[in-house]
């Protein structure tokens, strides 16, 4: 049974009443209705085949499938049994459609009303059909989007999910979406309010509609955070602004705005005028105090303990430049934050950190309110907080044992055991303190009794933040001066419905309002009339008429409340107004909407594009149909030109689509005389064979081992914008594997059994890092690679180890190489590391076969010492002294049999001729503030970054010629240039940074403890190195061990 059948099967009966009685109503952070709809639909499906009956022992014959997409399973609670009325739903799910439910819980604050909350997502909403369909653009000004209601369940004439209760401050919506028979559909979403401000917290929500689904799917909802009791203050010292933000004239500051989660991302202009919490006028420090701006919106309040509060400054205007660096990271310089954690008027400075926004794309400055502070003791003023609800002060008896059982302005009378008004010694000067705010001395009768930036609320006698005015020009944006000469938020009227701020206001969605004409298509036609016209807008009613100037259109057909079709009447050359008149006499006129012009009317008209969907890679043949196409016409898909354009006739053009980004684009035909026409959203680009955007091997590209032994771990990184690998943790929907195949072959030909799953390791910037091992059963030479899939393994992106990763495709020459050794026969295939100090003393590992006691090792003819045979395929040896320069041969010998690895080892010196280098990041591991974890023994460390500069070398694009980077670790306090105990690992070129080359890499510590780490760079392909600490080193200045990186290995 599908969603439609299940709804239609709900009939009044005793058993149904019982089921309805145990519907879920709960208020958790992510509201869902698992129990509600499963019970309700279970009942519907149970009763449908057997009729209404009180026989509770009959077994159900079917089970409705209900898909949950996020949210928490909640404890059921009782609800009203209902009246047993028959279903009165406004909508019936169309055939082939699934139903999506969303719920937003405002029971904590109770500030929202119907239609003030809007479900904003990658879809457009048809309110007449109650359906949504995918749209790539979903700014608040796009849409339309479905508003949320608190008017009861959809099966009882409301809009909320089945089982909802009207008027409980829990807002919901049920909409329908046509599922795709071939693939899943996924929407991304959040919630905005009536001011088009983003109020969703956390990463964007996602909901998936499985292919062919007709189920009920619950999108993860939200609970609007409860207002608390903590006031916060944020300041910006404009004298400490950085870079281009620093004002050229400190006495002439630009307008500065602040927005954040505490303002519902509403822009509030903050000033340096000694008012509204600003300590001193004209000192160059602008100030925001939450309590002073609560009048800006009924949805703003004080903050709760531990609330994560993101915020961003903006300059000049609400559309101006944000206080962020080139990487879209909010800047902290000059910014400070405080919180009144104890509600005593004393500000506690807060630590400013960075957190990613809901898209995971940018980092905003953030405080965790009163983090690390002890919660204030419960009192009557804090009864809204969950931790205080059971406290005696919150039981409503007025009884007390001590002052903590009373309100902030009360004290406990020991003789009566009752709370009474607190005796104070407040003076007018103390009114800013919390203890005195309600004292009689701080009450007001007129504005002059209040501080600057406040007005007297005569009904309560309380001074509140506000602004008197004579006219609208004296008020903040979107405010107006009311009859009491007070600035208030400007209410929307029907005349404002075209403004973005009013688009979702109830007055602009009232069916009794006048119609709203938005588009006339086409907008030009011949004077003879008869042109087929489509009008788009809102609130069109059956029986509406259309006039062009003063002439009535013919064949008027009101297709829906948003669409009218008609034929244009005859007219004279020139522009005319187009007017829609509803049957109630209300009208909407689009001035100069239509042009009569016989010459232009002979231009092209685009009607259809077949097929209307194609791959983002382009190259697909399509047919464009319409009228008045002429030889030489061109076709554009968005701003990209089609190829192989062929004007078949005056009504048909064939062409090949250009490549384009995913989403809808207009299709424009332009004749050779310059006349043109566009079919808006005429073609949709989709990614038919989706692949990850980028990937690369980051570990060593050379492996060796014996048959059947585990090889690796191999470390790879991947980036995909659509799946948002920049978000924290492993990315949902991403598969990662490492595999091998014959040397020189392409990885898409390797056997399926050669690939093994990789595990998520960590986030690296916007990339995800994975690691995995594999084994090979047969001796020989092979290539290895990583691969990633974003569609469950149907399509793969194969990654080699080239510095550009997959940006330049896959090449076997850039893949990893692995040699599998026959352990029974003497052989030598590899050495790690392949370099060491010229004075000798480094311990290196040789890999091969046939190793056993008595084997000897020489490097460039000099005998190694301390030979330790670990296994038949691996041994360790201490290097002898050698000379810097050409690569050296390594030889092994056993009972007269010799094997040599030519050019396998390099002695390194400290005479690299570079100009500067530095260990860039991180300075320590772990690094809590920078989000760097502690390294663990036996695993690659967090990524280390280093930079190097050499004149006329690193200023070239890409890695400089001869430049090699390495990262290493060793004993604390030692010199890496002379101590052979340091172990070194390769770094890879990361990016050009100005005139510098930046490298990145990891080291793998072999045991727990504390170590120093550093980077080193060579300009001669790894022969001579210069060693770099966190201060940076410019020759002849050498490495300073006190400035080395410090790692605590766990």
Handedness of CA 966, 971, 972, 975 (dihedral sign): negative
Q: How many helices (H) and strands (E) does the chain have?
A: 3, 72
Q: For position 408, what pLDDT does the model report?
A: 58
The answer to whether position 451 is within a domain reads no
824's tokens: 């029974």
- Taking alpha carbons only, the member of 345, 341, 53, 386 closest to residue 226 is 386
Q: How confident is the model at residue 92 (pLDDT cuts 50, 70, 90)?
A: low
Q: For position 750, what pLDDT does the model report?
A: 96
947 and 810 within one domain: no
249 and 215 within one domain: no
Assess contact for 99 and 27: CB atoms under 8 A. Answer: no
The answer to whether position 481 is within a domain reads no
| Kind and range of the H or E run holding 773 | strand 767-774
Q: Which residue is associated with the tokens 């907080």?
A: 385
CA of residue 530 relative to chain centroid, distance = 50
Q: What percent of the chain has pLDDT over 70?
A: 82
Question: Rounded to whole angstroms, how far apart are CA atoms 743 and 933?
Answer: 37
CB atoms within 10 A of CB 672: 11
Mean pLDDT, rounded, for 303-307: 86
The answer to whether position 725 is within a domain reads yes
Question: Rounded to whole angstroms, how far apart are CA atoms 198 and 195?
Answer: 9
Domain closes at, from 779, 797, 821 = 821
Mean pLDDT, rounded, for 26-35: 31
114 and 31 within one domain: yes
Q: For position 488, what pLDDT does the model report?
A: 75
The answer to whether position 444 is within a domain reads no
Q: For position 440, what pLDDT does the model report?
A: 66
947 and 888 within one domain: no
The answer to whether position 473 is within a domain reads no
Phi-psi region of 752 (alpha: psi -120 to 50; beta: other; left: phi over 0): alpha
Phi-psi region of 35 (alpha: psi -120 to 50; beta: other; left: phi over 0): alpha
Q: What is the spatial order of strands in the sheet that 353-356 belongs to?
A: 268-270, 256-260, 308-315, 363-368, 353-356
| Kind and range of the H or E run holding 985 | strand 983-986
Question: Rounded to whole angstroms, how far apart are CA atoms 910 and 918?
Answer: 16
Segment 387-438, tens digit of pLDDT: 676 666 666 666 777 776 776 557 787 777 777 766 666 766 666 555 565 6
Question: Rounded to whole angstroms, how far apart are CA atoms 999 and 1018?
Answer: 12
78 and 219 within one domain: yes
CA of residue 224 relative to chain centroid, distance = 19
Q: Provide CB contacts within 8 A for 567, sequence distance 6+.
A: 529, 530, 531, 532, 533, 553, 554, 555
117 and 22 within one domain: yes
Tell me the chain's radius of gyration from C-alpha atoms.
36
> Which CATH number do you get for residue 1019?
2.60.40.650
> Which CATH number do you get for residue 732?
2.60.40.2440
- Rounded to whole angstroms, the maximal C-alpha distance in the chain is 111
CA of residue 441 relative to chain centroid, distance = 50
* 21-58: burial string, b at 16+ Cβ within 10 Å, e else: ebbbbbeeebbbbbbbbbbbbbbbbbbbeeeeeeeeee
The answer to whether position 488 is within a domain reads no
Can you state the angle between helices 34-47 and 14-21, rounded to 10 degrees?
Answer: 170
Give the start-end residues of each E strand in 510-596. Answer: 516-521, 524-525, 532-538, 545-548, 551-552, 554-560, 563-567, 574-581, 587-596
CB atoms within 10 A of CB 994: 10
> Which CATH number do you get for residue 563?
2.60.40.10
347 and 239 within one domain: yes
Segment 203-261, tens digit of pLDDT: 788 899 998 888 889 898 888 888 888 999 999 998 888 776 777 666 667 788 899 99
CB atoms within 10 A of CB 1037: 11
Mean pLDDT, rounded, for 344-372: 83
With helix as H, strand as E and coil as C, how does 190-206 read? EEECCCCCECCCCCCEE
Segment 785-813, tens digit of pLDDT: 999 999 889 899 999 998 788 888 899 99
- Taking alpha carbons only, the member of 879, 881, 883, 852 closest to residue 865 is 879
291 and 341 within one domain: yes
361 and 262 within one domain: yes
Indicate whether 54 pLDDT > 70.
no
The answer to whether position 812 is within a domain reads yes
Q: What is the spatial order of strands in the sheet that 605-610 belongs to?
A: 605-610, 621-627, 652-656, 643-649
676's tokens: 């043109």
Question: Rounded to whole angstroms, how far apart are CA atoms 683 and 662?
Answer: 10
Indicate whether 582 pLDDT > 90.
yes
Averaged pLDDT score across all residues of the chain: 81
Task: Supply the DSSP symbol for 927.
Answer: B
Q: Provide CB contacts within 8 A for 253, sequence distance 6+.
A: 238, 247, 272, 284, 286
Q: How confident is the model at residue 15 (pLDDT cuts 50, 70, 90)?
A: very low
Mean pLDDT, rounded, for 918-931: 88
Assess contact for 741 and 775: CB atoms under 8 A. Answer: no
Number of domains within the chain: 6
304's tokens: 């709760």
Q: Provide CB contacts within 8 A for 213, sequence distance 6+.
A: 67, 98, 179
For the ranges 186-195, 249-258, 549-558, the lowest mean pLDDT is seen at 249-258
Q: How confident is the model at residue 365 (pLDDT cuts 50, 70, 90)?
A: very high
Assess contact for 568 and 528: CB atoms under 8 A. Answer: no
Cα torsion through 422, 428, 429, 431, rounded to 10: 50
Assess contact for 853 and 869: CB atoms under 8 A. Answer: yes
| Kind and range of the H or E run holding 269 | strand 268-270
For the ranges 431-435, 549-553, 1019-1023, the lowest mean pLDDT is seen at 431-435
Handedness of CA 240, 245, 248, 254 (dihedral sign): negative
Assess contact for 180 and 211: CB atoms under 8 A. Answer: yes
The answer to whether position 46 is within a domain reads yes
Indicate whether 1024 pLDDT > 80.
yes
Question: Rounded to whole angstroms, how far apart are CA atoms 218 and 161?
Answer: 9
CA of residue 737 relative to chain centroid, distance = 26
Question: Rounded to whole angstroms, how far apart are CA atoms 714 and 724?
Answer: 23
Q: What percent of the chain has pLDDT over 90?
A: 36
Segment 692-748, tens digit of pLDDT: 989 999 888 888 888 888 898 899 999 988 888 888 888 988 999 999 999 999 999
CB atoms within 10 A of CB 207: 22
| Kind and range of the H or E run holding 518 | strand 516-521
14 and 146 within one domain: yes
pTM of the entire predicted model: 0.37
Mean pLDDT, rounded, for 477-483: 76
For the ranges 74-83, 129-138, 770-779, the lowest mean pLDDT is seen at 74-83
Mean pLDDT, rounded, for 631-651: 94
Higher pLDDT, 494 or 194: 194
Segment 129-186, tens digit of pLDDT: 889 988 866 777 677 899 999 999 888 888 999 888 999 999 999 999 998 888 888 8
Task: Supply the DSSP symbol for 940.
Answer: P
Segment 673-708, tens digit of pLDDT: 888 888 888 899 988 888 898 999 988 888 888 888
Indicate whether 28 pLDDT > 90.
no
Residues present in the chain in total: 1050
CB atoms within 10 A of CB 993: 14
Q: For position 880, what pLDDT does the model report?
A: 95
* Highest mean predicted confidence (pLDDT) among 94-98, 157-161, 192-196, 745-749: 745-749
Assess contact for 566 and 553: CB atoms under 8 A. Answer: yes
Assess contact for 79 and 22: CB atoms under 8 A. Answer: yes
Assess contact for 361 and 327: CB atoms under 8 A. Answer: no
1031's tokens: 């201060």
Higher pLDDT, 451 or 1047: 1047
Domain closes at, from 884, 908, 932 = 908
- Taking alpha carbons only, the member of 882, 903, 887 closest to residue 828 is 903
C-alpha dist (Å) from residue 96 to 40, 92, 99, 182: 21, 12, 10, 13
Mean pLDDT, rounded, for 942-964: 90
Domain interval for residue 731: 694-821
CB atoms within 10 A of CB 624: 28
Question: Rounded to whole angstroms, how far apart are CA atoms 640 and 658?
Answer: 6
Question: Rounded to whole angstroms, how far apart are CA atoms 404 and 393?
Answer: 7
Q: How confident is the model at residue 366 (pLDDT cuts 50, 70, 90)?
A: very high
**What is the DSSP pairing of strand 694-697 with strand 711-719?**
antiparallel
209 and 65 within one domain: yes
Domain closes at, from 789, 806, 821 = 821
Q: How confident is the model at residue 888 (pLDDT cuts 50, 70, 90)?
A: very high
Q: How confident is the model at residue 24 (pLDDT cuts 50, 70, 90)?
A: very low
99 and 27 within one domain: yes
Segment 316-334, tens digit of pLDDT: 766 677 888 877 788 999 9
């Amino acid at each position: 049974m599908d969603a439609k059948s299940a709804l239609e099967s709900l009939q009044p009966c005793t058993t149904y009443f019982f089921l309805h009685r145990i519907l879920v109503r709960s208020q958790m952070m992510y509201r869902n209705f698992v129990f509600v709809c499963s019970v309700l639909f279970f009942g519907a499906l149970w009763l449908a085949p057997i009729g209404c009956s009180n026989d509770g022992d009959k077994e159900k014959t079917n089970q409705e499938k209900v898909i949950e997409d996020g949210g928490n399973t909640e404890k059921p609670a009782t609800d009203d049994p209902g009246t047993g009325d028959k279903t009165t739903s406004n909508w019936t799910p169309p055939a082939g459609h699934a139903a999506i439910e969303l719920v937003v819980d405002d029971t904590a604050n109770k500030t929202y009303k119907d239609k003030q909350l809007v479900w904003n997502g990658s879809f457009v909403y048809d309110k007449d059909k109650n359906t949504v369909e995918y749209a790539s653009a979903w700014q608040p000004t796009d849409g339309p989007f479905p508003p949320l209601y608190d008017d009861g369940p959809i099966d009882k004439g409301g809009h909320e999910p089945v089982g909802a209760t009207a008027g409980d401050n829990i807002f919901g919506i049920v909409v329908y979406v046509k599922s795709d028979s071939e693939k899943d559909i996924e929407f991304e979403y959040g919630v905005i309010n009536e001011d088009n401000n983003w109020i969703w917290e956390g990463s964007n929500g996602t909901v998936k509609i499985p292919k062919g689904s007709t189920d009920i799917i619950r999108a993860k909802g939200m609970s609007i955070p409860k207002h608390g009791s903590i006031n916060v203050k944020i300041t910006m010292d404009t004298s400490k602004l950085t870079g281009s933000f620093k004002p050229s004239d400190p006495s002439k500051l630009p307008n500065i705005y602040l927005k954040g989660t505490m303002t519902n991302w509403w822009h509030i202009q903050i000033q340096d005028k000694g008012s509204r919490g600003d300590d001193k006028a004209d000192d160059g420090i602008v100030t925001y105090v939450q309590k002073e701006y609560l009048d800006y919106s009924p949805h703003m309040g004080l903050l709760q303990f531990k609330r994560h509060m993101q915020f961003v400054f903006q300059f000049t205007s609400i559309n101006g430049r944000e206080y962020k660096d080139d990487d879209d990271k909010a800047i902290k310089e000059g910014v400070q934050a405080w919180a009144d954690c104890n509600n005593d008027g004393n500000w506690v400075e807060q630590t400013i950190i960075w957190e990613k926004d809901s898209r995971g794309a940018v980092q905003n400055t953030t405080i965790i309110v009163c983090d690390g502070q002890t919660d204030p003791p419960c009192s009557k003023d804090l009864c809204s907080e969950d931790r205080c609800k059971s406290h005696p002060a919150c039981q409503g008896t007025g009884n007390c044992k001590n002052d903590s059982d009373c309100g902030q302005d009360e004290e406990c009378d020991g003789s009566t055991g009752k709370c009474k008004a607190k005796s104070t010694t407040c003076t007018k000067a103390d009114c800013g303190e919390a203890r005195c705010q309600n004292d009689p001395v701080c009450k007001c009768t007129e504005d002059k009794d209040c501080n600057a930036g406040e007005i007297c609320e005569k009904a309560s006698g309380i001074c509140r933040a506000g602004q008197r005015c004579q006219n609208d020009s004296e008020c903040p944006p979107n405010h107006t001066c009311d009859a009491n000469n007070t600035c208030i938020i400007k209410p929307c009227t029907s005349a404002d419905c075209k403004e973005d701020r009013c688009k979702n206001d109830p007055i602009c969605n009232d069916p009794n309002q006048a119609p709203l004409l938005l588009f006339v298509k086409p907008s030009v036609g011949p004077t003879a009339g008869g042109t087929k016209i489509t009008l788009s807008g809102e609130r069109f009613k059956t029986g509406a008429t259309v006039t062009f100037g003063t002439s009535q259109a013919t064949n008027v057909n009101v297709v829906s409340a948003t669409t009218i079709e008609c034929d244009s009447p005859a007219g004279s050359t020139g522009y005319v107004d187009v007017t829609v008149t509803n049957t109630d006499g209300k009208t909407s006129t689009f001035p100069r909407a239509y042009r009569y012009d016989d010459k232009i009317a002979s231009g092209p008209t685009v009607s259809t594009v077949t097929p209307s969907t194609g791959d983002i890679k382009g190259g697909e043949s399509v047919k464009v149909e319409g009228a008045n196409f002429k030889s030489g016409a061109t076709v554009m898909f968005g701003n990209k030109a089609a190829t192989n354009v062929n004007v078949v006739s005056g009504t048909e053009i064939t062409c090949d689509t250009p490549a384009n980004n995913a989403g809808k684009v207009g299709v424009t035909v332009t004749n050779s005389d310059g006349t043109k026409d566009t079919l808006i959203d005429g073609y949709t680009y989709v990614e038919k064979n989706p692949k990850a955007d980028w990937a690369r091997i980051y570990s060593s590209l050379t492996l060796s081992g014996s048959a059947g032994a585990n090889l690796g771990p191999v470390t790879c990184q991947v980036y995909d914008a659509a799946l948002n690998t920049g978000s924290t943790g492993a990315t949902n929907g991403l598969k990662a594997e490492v595999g091998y195949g014959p040397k020189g072959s392409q990885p898409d030909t390797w056997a399926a059994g050669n690939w093994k799953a990789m595990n998520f390791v960590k986030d690296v910037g916007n990339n995800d890092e994975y690691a995995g091992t594999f084994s090979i059963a047969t001796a020989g030479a092979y290539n290895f690679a990583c691969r990633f899939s974003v569609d469950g393994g149907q399509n793969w992106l194969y990654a080699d180890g080239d510095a550009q990763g997959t940006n330049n495709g896959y090449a076997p020459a850039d893949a990893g190489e692995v040699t599998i050794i026959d352990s029974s026969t003497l052989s030598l295939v590899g050495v790690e590391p392949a370099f060491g100090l010229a004075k000798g003393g480094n311990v290196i590992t040789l890999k091969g076969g046939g190793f056993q006691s008595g084997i000897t090792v020489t490097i460039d003819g000099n005998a190694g010492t301390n030979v330790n045979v670990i296994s038949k395929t691996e041994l360790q040896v201490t290097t002898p002294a050698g000379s810097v320069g050409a690569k050296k041969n390594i030889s092994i010998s056993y009972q007269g049999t010799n094997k040599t690895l030519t050019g396998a080892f390099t002695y390194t010196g400290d005479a690299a001729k570079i100009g500067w280098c530095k260990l860039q990041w991180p300075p320590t591991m772990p690094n809590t503030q920078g989000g760097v974890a502690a390294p663990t023994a036996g695993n690659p460390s967090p990524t280390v970054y280093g930079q190097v500069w050499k004149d006329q070398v690193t200023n070239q694009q890409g890695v400089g010629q001869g430049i090699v980077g390495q990262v290493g670790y060793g004993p604390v306090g030692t010199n890496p240039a002379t101590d052979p105990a340091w172990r070194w690992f390769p770094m890879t070129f990361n990016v050009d940074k100005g005139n510098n080359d930046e490298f990145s890499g990891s080291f793998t510590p072999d045991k727990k403890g504390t170590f120093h780490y550093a980077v080193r760079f060579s300009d001669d392909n790894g022969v001579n190195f210069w060693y770099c600490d966190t201060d940076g080193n410019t020759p002849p200045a050498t490495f300073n061990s006190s400035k080395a990186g410090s790692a605590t290995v766990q």
